[in-house]
Structure 1
Amino acid sequence: MTLDEEKSQGIQDADGNITNTKLTDILPIPPTTQPVNEPEKFETANSLAEEPTLSHDLATNSHEVKGIAQREYVEEVANLGWNEKKDKISAPLVGRLGNEDLWLLIRRFNKQIYHVKEVPTAVPGDLDLNIADEEEFSPDKLRENIERFYMTVVVGLLAAVKHIARLRSWRETRCTSCFCAVYFAAWIFDLVVPLLTLTLITLIVYPRSREVLFPPAPLALVDSKSGGVQKPKAGVLGSTDSSTGAPQNFKGEAVEQEASSFVNGFASIVVTSAAGKHPQAAPSSETGSPDDAVPDPTDLAMTAAEAKDVAAGGKTGPSQDKTKVPVETAMWTKMRPIMHGIADVSDTWERFVNALSPTPPFPKDVYRLRLAILVVPLFLISLFVTSYMFIKGMTFGVGFGFFGDPIISRGLKWLNRRFPHWQKLMELRNTILKGVPTNAQLTLTLLRIGEANKAPLPPPPSAGAPPPERPIEITDAELKATGAEPPLNATDEELREAIEHDPQVAHQTGGPDIDAAKSSKHGKHGNRIISFFKGTTKGAVKTAIGTDHARAKAGSHHAKNRLGAVPRSDVNHLTGPLDFKGRYKGQKGHVYITTKSTIPAVSFSTNHTIEKIGSEEREDLHPLWTVAIGDIAEIKKVGGYGWKAKIIVGWSMGREVADGLEITDRTGNVWRVTALPMRDELFNRLVAIGGQKWEAW
């Protein structure tokens, strides 16, 4: 059989089904050389059916195991449970993927992605929604990247540390003794490196081996020092994938809250990020807006630091401290590459995780085989390479790297001249990890599956009430031992005591000094002062909101964009999946999406009958504007208020601010819809419904 015949026939997956995967997909070679050969070649698509990327292809393909969103529907859009409670939404929405896992991905996608632009050229790894090299920087985006870094890298490393602690503790005697015997047997026969590479190949190719060699246990239940059982830091085992064990209503919520608390614990620049400016553009900068009615929260940290220095006899201010301005400038200038580096590390980590444990509809074995193919040569070489040869080769490489700059620099210049942009082809996402998605790319593919089948995926439901302070039920999937040993070599009584709720544990620290530093009590007078300022601020914000109505009637463009940004709490704002309440230039109306027409489009209408009879197949709506889905070139989430006012409204009024969306077409026309309570859901539909290749900014 020739190579071309193998390519055309495809290969079998783990279930024996013939897939569209080619033999070349298993090899770590770039899917296309277009970025080098034809860097200026533009290719655009107007619909999902044109399949410009692997994501579009997987979304439109037929799947063996289908969920509710993968069935064929005759209506324009099937409502699979939008605005319904968790128990009323059918499961699974996507085949071989639980609804909890799906909502976890969508929830994090909503926080991570809020500005996309169309990419007309070839995309790395045949997947779109990569992070742009020149992505916009903002303190709040830095915060989101640090949170994501915690949820992916930090939690993953913590799990590895606790597995090592379990092995070293000898508490699980049978497991540790097996590891010890095999290791020293390999050491005696000089086969340590072959053993490690063979173990790595096994872990990659055979997923079942992972839980055999490293039995699962709730992260919060394992002591990282002793390797034994500990009381979770939250005082109860309410989740298995978080480091504190905090209770949660939906899968992944505890880790997300931990990540937020992790960021809030930083000082200085990360404190600024915790309350910093959002990339969502402020809707106005005119004098007298609600944003001008409140102080700048990020100034408080700097003011407190300066006051401490003055009290200690120091002198502050630019006139006295000549380092203040240049150091701050240098720090903020370096923040964008640091933020981009954190995002790249998180992306690579997510890709490796998704390669080892693929999520449907991505292929089950292709990525694992590709990784294993790379390790097999190392295994074979290690059988013949002695320790002396290894040390000699490594020291030669160190010396060449240190002293070989003339050869290295000339070689790089030749490559840059002969093959421009060759670095793009050699990136991990284009070779070893080609076709392997980040979590955001995976989520976009899942959203496209719903759009391809006229069944948009419903948004994550809201619990409303806080999670209960009770332990979760533990199964073998969360807590398991090797052989006949008890999990963590702990008795049932020890496990029960560790899992049960103890309200005092969460407040325990390392001593009275930490208690005193951690305390945030204000006293009666402090609380009265805070209540006074809260009431005063609430009055100022209400006045500014009321003034906006008068300014809007007088023709103020900025005031019109702010109308409805703080909706009444007694109004039902739930809409979708076809119609979304919002405002355009201050006018109440609905954004609605039509897909049955010849050209699918998104429109805005002020016709209030939409609330009663909907927008499906109606021609009497007379929209104020219409944009073809295929003509959208950029979508950006924008703020309903400025970043300061948004914080103060939440603090003083306890109200949610409805943000907006900005849509730009390929000719440069811009439409801004404001006061959108379901902004994220509309954004997700517009991003997933067309054939565009996106780039995250």
Structure 2
Amino acid sequence: MNAPKVDEPEIVEAAPEEHPTDSHELANADHKEKGAAQVDHGQTEVRDLGWNENPSDIPNPVVGGLPNEELWTLIRRFNKQMYHVKVLQKPPLGGLDLSIADAEEFSPDKLRANIERFYMTVVVGLVGFWKHIARLRSWRERNRTIAFATVYFGAWAIDFLVPTITAFLVALIAYPPTRTYCFPPAPIALIDSKTGGVKKPTAGVLGSDNSLTGAPEKQQGEAVEQEASSFVNSFTSIAISSAAGKHPQGNPNGEEEGASSLEDRAPDPTNMALSAADAKSSSAGGQPNAVHDKAKEPMSAAMWSKTRPVMHAIADISDGWERFGNALSPTPPFPTERPRIQLAAALVPILLISLFTSSYMFMKTSGLFVGFGFFADPFISRALSYLNREFPHWQKLLELRNTLLKGVPTNAQLTVTLLRIGEANKAPLPPPPYSGPPPPDAAHDTAGEGLEYLEEVPDDEMGQAIHPDTTAVATGMDAAPKKKQHGRRILSTIKGVTKGGVETILGTDRLKAAAGAEHAKNRLGVLRSGNLVTGGPIDFPCRYKGKKGHAYITTTATSPAVSWTTEKEDIDPVFSIAIADIAEIKKVGGLGWKSKLVVGWATDREIADGLLIVDKDGNQKQLTAIALREELFNRLIALGKQMWEAW
């Protein structure tokens, strides 16, 4: 009997219906490298690995082969990405569930989350790649650049350039140590994209290695997440400024921005997006668009009709990028060798063909294919019609996730597999720690270490780039006199009045709820008083129809279930739903999106959101004011054998 491969997990034998996807199968496998969540704790009840403990008191690693900081980064970004899941009736083609549904629902908040994810994956990755190229082209790392240039021009001279590049890509994919040898890593924010040399990060300090600004962070990955949020905010601000017509030509003669004038006293119109374009038109002597602009409604309808496909396209690009990343650098419990071998094997035919193809043959063949694609439309159309008629889902079968990258997860699929590992061993993974106050404005502990290969960089120059320039900061503070912020006083007054109105409205919800108003019941308790919340992994403080209570997840019974009880009635639950009967879970807001913006701005308090749980019979149960909404959502989707689809 052949011994199992070192990189492949040993799968526990089970009936196919018990493990419907590769994710379920890997979660129940007997892994060679185990963390605290994978060790048999000899209990039938759920083990608390430190849900309410300090991060330093939590066992490390919780999952074998994955540091806790990376685990928490995955979970934190998973929480922002997942909003709504439904049960998938048929096994997915790629072997992994939690793919994005073709008919995914659109919402502005989800679009924002997808753009932030695109920034964290694709944008940061491309910038990092370009800075590697800039380092090579700069000749600052002379020995490395000479080696690359010698190989390149040598291959060019003997007409062997394509085979050489292809073989180099195969080596990078199949043998990971060649990546760090040929492309030594360096903090992205520390490298100048134009000169390839060392520069001071735009944040003024090297507080993180994987962010574009180098901003400090308390937990791994937080700096990139803050950058992504600021990226979307800045883009939105520019769009609103354009709609409002913000331009220097709008300032009266002799009154510059920053002068003590009515311009300073008035609130910035870019903070009020509603009717901004109409206000600009009216101030210029025009008429509101609603009456005279016949293109407004058709253009608005056309733009909104394309929002869902655009959002889906952004998500697909991010999915593909994450799959390639997880194929090149797999994360346990997924296989570590097979994905890389598949990718490298796909390049081998190109390598073999290039060995026997001259540049003339290549150009001749390329011209044939270009002409065929341009002039053979009747033949191509008939062929596509035949395929659509005989094989309706042939496009799905040819997608990379179902062919070359089959079995390779996105970060969301990887995260749900890790969550399922904890549930399979009755040790739910602890949630990411609360970040708390902002990190200090200082370089991280290992900043600048291991960068000896950055040649011709003096130690004093490296130190100046890594550490904050306290002298410049102090001089700048002393030199700039503090201005009177009249606009802030006006906004503060408006904020105080709004806060009083909000508190009054929310205060009347108790009376309305007592009278039976469902909307008022769902709003009770949505304003959270503090940031530190205790609960889990079994009980989650929340409300049901306005009443205080707890949602409980029980796994010791014959059929695991989620139930809800009041604080006074801890024995008999008000309702109970078997985990296997859950067909849909949706995150819902504690308030409507407009109310949420106003209340959050006026009160500076966090709003506790809710969950909508739907069973197979269509019965709905909505839990509100959930203290640990994300953690409850994650446990519910990871517990059962259901195959999920993201909506």
TM-score for the superposition, normalised by structure 2: 0.91
Counterpart residue number, 1:688: 638
Structure 2 residue corresponding to 1:449, chosen from 417, 421, 444: 421
1:498 alignment partner AA: A
- In 1, the alpha carbon distance for the partners of 2:136 and 2:224 equals 25
Q: Which runs of 5+ in 1 are unaligned?
A: 1-7, 22-44, 273-296, 509-518, 611-620
Instruction: Name the aligned partner's letter for residue 387 of structure 1.
Output: S
Q: Measure the CA separation in 1 of the matches of 2:572 and 2:222.
A: 42
CA distance in 1, matches of 2:206, 2:487: 35
Secondary structure of the corresponding residue to residue 273 of structure 2:
helix
**AA matched with 2:338:** V
Asked if 2 retains the 8 angstrom alpha-carbon contact of 1:85 and 1:462, the reply is no
The correspondence of residues 630-649 of structure 1 with structure 2, limited to 5 A, is: 630-649=580-599
Is this contact kept in 2: 1:69–1:453, CA < 8 A? yes
Structure 1 equivalent of residue 32 of structure 2? 64
Q: CA deviation at 1:331?
A: 1.1
> Is it true that 1:123 corresponds to 2:92 in the alignment?
yes
SS of the counterpart of 2:564?
strand
The alpha-carbon deviation at position 505 of structure 1 amounts to 8.3
Please say if residues 218 and 479 of structure 1, whose CA atoms lie closer than 8 Å, have aligned partners that are also in contact: no
Q: Structure 1 residue 322: deviation in Å?
A: 2.1
In 1, distance between residues paired with 2:72 and 2:510? 38
Aligned to 1:568: 529
Letter in 1 for 2:48: N
* Contact 1:13/1:364, CA 8 A, preserved across alignment: no
Give 2:204's aligned residue.
Answer: 235
Instruction: Measure, in 1, the Cα distance between the counterparts of 2:541 and 2:55.
Output: 23
Question: Are the counterparts in 1 of residues 237 and 270 from structure 2 also a CA contact under 8 Å?
Answer: no
* Counterpart code for 2:5: Q
Counterpart selection for 1:417 from 383, 389, 397: 389
Q: Secondary structure at the match of 1:489?
A: coil
Name the CA distance, whole Å, in 1 between partners of 2:548 and 2:557.
25
Structure 1 residue 543 corresponds to structure 2 residue 504: yes
User: How many matched pairs?
Assistant: 614
The whole-number CA distance in structure 1 between the counterparts of 2:646 and 2:484 is 47
Q: Deviations over 1:221-244 (max 9, x none)?
A: 000000000000000000000000
Q: Is the 8 A contact 2:11 2:29 kept in 1?
A: no
**Distance change >3 Å, CA 504–CA 681, structure 1 → 2:** farther
AA paired with 1:97?
Answer: L
Match of 1:13 in 2: 6
For 1:128 and 1:54, the matched residues in 2 are separated by 8
Deviations along 1:89-126, one digit per CA (max 9) or x if unpaired, are 11000001000000000000000001000001121310
Deviation at 1:475, TM superposition (A): 6.8
Deviation at 1:314, TM superposition (A): 3.5
Deviation at 1:301, TM superposition (A): 1.9
Who is 1:625 aligned against? Answer: 575
1:447-526 → structure 2 map (5 Å cutoff): 447-474=419-446, 479-480=450-451, 486-502=453-469, 523-526=484-487
Counterpart Cα distance in 1 of 2:92 and 2:407: 11
| TM-aligned CA distance change 1:267 to 1:649, over 3 Å | closer
- The equivalent of 2:409 in structure 1 is 437
Change (3 A) 1:555 1:398: same
Is 1:51 aligned to 2:16, yes or no? no
Q: Which amino acid aligns with 1:424?
A: K
Alignment of 1:313-462 (within 5 A): 313-462=285-434
**Equivalent-residue separation in structure 1 for 2:17 and 2:440 (angstroms):** 45
1:556 correspondence with 2:517: yes
Choose 354-363 or 322-331, whichever is displaced more. 322-331
CA distance in 1, matches of 2:470, 2:235: 26
CA distance in 2, matches of 1:134, 1:506: 51
**Post-superposition offset of 1:429:** 0.5
**What is the alpha-carbon distance in structure 2 between the residues aligned to residue 271 and residue 461 of structure 1?**
35
Residue pair 2:422, 2:428 contacting (<8 A) in 1 also:
yes
- Give the 3 Å change call, closer, same or farther, for CA 583–122 of structure 1 in structure 2: same
- Which residue identity does 1:82 align to in structure 2? W
Structure 1 contact 152–350 (Cα < 8 Å) conserved: yes
Change beyond 3 A, Cα 1:20–1:69? closer
1:135 and 2:104 aligned: yes
**Does the residue aligned with 1:319 lie in a helix, a strand or coil?**
helix
Change in 2 beyond 3 A, CA 1:576/1:100? same
Compute the displacement of 1:268 (Å). Answer: 7.5
Structure 2: tracts of 5 or more residues without a match: 242-268
Does 1 or 2 have the higher relative contact order (CA < 8 Å, sep 6+)?
1
RMSD of aligned residue pairs (Cα, Å) = 2.6
Q: Does 1:78 align with 2:47?
A: yes
Q: 1:263 to 1:479 in 2, by over 3 A?
A: farther
Q: Partners in 1 of 2:539 and 2:361 — Cα distance?
A: 68
Deviation at 1:503, TM superposition (A): 6.1
1:292-346 per-residue CA deviation (whole Å, 9 max, x = no partner) reads xxxxx99922433333333334433221222222222111111110000000000
Q: Does structure 2 retain, via aligned residues, the 8 Å contact 1:248–1:254?
A: yes
2:9 touches 2:30 (CA, 8 Å); kept in 1?
Answer: no
Deviation, 1:270, is: 6.7
**2-structure distance, mates of 1:118, 1:415:** 29
One-letter identity of the residue aligned with 1:691: K
Paired letter, 2:633: F
One-letter code of the match for 1:95?
Answer: G
Deviation at 1:473, TM superposition (A): 2.9
Q: Once the 2 structures are TM-superposed, how far is the Cα of residue 643 of structure 1 from its aligned partner?
A: 1.0
CA separation in 2, counterparts of 1:132 and 1:693?
A: 13
- One-letter amino acid matched to 2:424: A
Letter in 2 for 1:684: N
Note if contact 1:602-1:626 (Cα within 8 Å) is conserved in structure 2: yes
Q: Distance in 1 between matches of 2:161 and 2:79?
A: 46
**What is the DSSP-based 3-state SS (H/G/I as helix, E as strand, rest coil) of the residue aligned with 1:637?**
strand
TM-score scaled by structure 1? 0.84
Report the equivalent of 1:203.
172
